[in-house]
């Protein structure tokens, strides 16, 4: 194998998912960081691109900067694996399982990891009266999440059964299966994972009802606290829970785990992200900076982890 710094890297970005715009920004930032580190980098937008053409480019390794369907759900990972091209991040199973909010929740339950109570709603089986039953089961206030979307796309809060019905109708535009989750009232945190190392915890604060798409990418009022002001014991506890959740879904290499703390001070795992945002102001780079890594050092470490057998 070539020495790491001599490898030719392809950064896959863009794509066709609902998160394309975010991925375009992530890919450009990653390519810039890798180039600054000395790598030979080719930036490839996978929209209208035939992945088999990678085999003709003498690519040594792929850095996946694709968010959402097609890039974060195991599809591109499977194609690269079939072509015997090494890549960063989680493998097919870890990607697919982490991306599926319903399946990952079931894994959390099976592993006795704390996660909010939930119900599963299928578009083909749904009846309007089901919303009332779900409200009775989970409480009046719930979160509605398409099973296979990221960046809070298609998500909404419902305060009663009528709003839940409307939220489900909207969510069905994004997915055939919907996760309805009991509302968690409390602060939200995120833990970046690098290899098997949890990075410093970030506390997100937003005036929105929840950390939605606008709060993540458009709002100027969202605040990020890192250090997060938790006690040393509490921060160690949430880092441990996050790492357990990351490993439970088979995620590898790097990623991010989103967690909330309810009114009883209990941690509640929301989801595992295997290709989180990677602009220079995204959450993983924020945590890495506090950990002592520049953006260029962070992306170099992600490549190095993939070369050490993280796949």
Q: Which residues are catalytic?
A: 19, 151, 217, 256, 258, 271, 273, 277
Sheet holding 156-158, edge to edge: 118-122, 177-182, 142-146, 156-158
What SS3 state is found at 274? Answer: coil
Length of the chain: 311
**Bridge-based pairing state of the strands 8-13 and 61-64:** parallel
From CA 119, how far away is CA 162, in angstroms rounded?
Answer: 16
C-alpha distances in angstroms, 266 versus 133, 185, 246?
Answer: 26, 11, 18
Given a contact cutoff of 8 angstroms between Cβ atoms, the answer to whether 279 and 16 are in contact is no
> For the chain, what is the total number of helices (H) and then of strands (E)?
10, 13
From CA 92, how far away is CA 108, in angstroms rounded?
Answer: 19
Which candidate, 274, 292, 305, places its Cα nearest to that of 226?
A: 292
């Amino acid at each position: 194998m070539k020495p790491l710094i001599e490898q030719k890297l392809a950064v896959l970005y863009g794509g066709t998912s609902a998160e394309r715009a975010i991925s375009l920004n992530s890919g450009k930032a990653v390519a810039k960081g890798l180039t600054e580190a000395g790598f030979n980098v080719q930036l490839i937008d996978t929209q209208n691109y035939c992945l088999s053409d990678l085999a003709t480019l003498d690519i040594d390794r792929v850095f996946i900067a694709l968010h959402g369907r097609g890039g974060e759900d195991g599809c591109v990972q499977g194609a690269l694996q079939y072509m015997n091209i090494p890549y960063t991040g989680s493998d097919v199973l870890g990607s697919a399982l982490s991306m599926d909010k319903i399946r990952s929740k079931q894994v959390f339950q099976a592993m006795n990891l704390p996660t909010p109570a939930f119900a599963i709603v299928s578009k083909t089986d749904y009846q309007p009266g089901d919303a009332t039953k779900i409200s009775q089961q989970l409480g009046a206030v719930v979160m509605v999440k398409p099973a296979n979307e990221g960046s809070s796309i298609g998500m909404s809060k419902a305060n009663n059964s009528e709003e839940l019905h409307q939220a489900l109708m909207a969510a069905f535009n994004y997915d055939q299966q919907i996760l309805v989750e009991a509302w968690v009232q409390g602060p939200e945190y995120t833990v970046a994972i690098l290899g098997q190392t949890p990075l410093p915890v970030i506390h997100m604060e937003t005036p929105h009802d929840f950390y939605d798409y606008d709060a993540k990418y458009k709002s100027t009022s969202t605040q990020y606290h890192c250090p997060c002001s938790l006690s040393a014991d509490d921060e160690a506890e949430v880092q441990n829970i996050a790492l357990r959740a990351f490993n439970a879904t088979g995620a590898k290499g790097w990623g991010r785990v989103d967690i909330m703390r309810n009114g009883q001070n209990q941690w509640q795992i929301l989801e595992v992200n295997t290709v989180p945002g990677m602009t220079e102001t995204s959450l993983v780079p924020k945590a890495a900076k506090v950990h002592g890594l520049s953006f260029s050092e962070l992306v170099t470490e992600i490549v190095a982890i993939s070369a050490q057998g993280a796949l």
